[in-house]
Amino acid sequence: MKDQQVLFENQALWIHDFEIQNMNYDERFSIRHFSFVPPLSKHSGNILLTEAEIILYGDEATNISLRNITELYYGFDELYTASSVKNFGIFWKPLRIKYNLYNVIYLIVNYRHFYTSNEQFLSILKDMLL
């Protein structure tokens, strides 16, 4: 992150598509509906957005170059379903990012039970990519 200006910084939860695919039913669905259980995720830490990349660091480190992002999607899909989160997604939705052709990551930025900062992060990111 040499001399890059940080445009956004917050806490984050994330999971890769292959990690969801490898979960059993209870991990993916049943346990997620109990109080104080975090949403469907495998990793936690912080997220930084710079002019050039998204940096995730915590129990795992992942860097996503903005020029390698091929798709942004805000919402549930066939893998990260509304039935896998508490309240069936009434209060928030995950942000899916496809990058480097085949990599897929789902983000939950600043999770606070009834809200996230996913929309704010997505808005900043879309402005940068357009």
**In the chain, where are the structural domains located?**
6-129
* CATH class given for the domain over 6-129: mainly beta
Centroid of chain to Cα 80: 11
Rounded CA separation 70/67 (Å) = 8
Other C-beta atoms within 10 Å of 105: how many?
20
- pLDDT tens column, 5-36: 999 999 999 999 999 999 887 776 655 556 66
Beta bridge partners of 72: 97
pLDDT in tens, 72-111: 999 999 999 988 887 777 889 999 999 998 999 999 999 9
- pLDDT for 111: 93
Classify strands 69-74 and 95-99 as parallel, antiparallel or unpaired.
Answer: antiparallel
Q: How many CA atoms lie within 13 A of 32 on its CB side?
A: 21
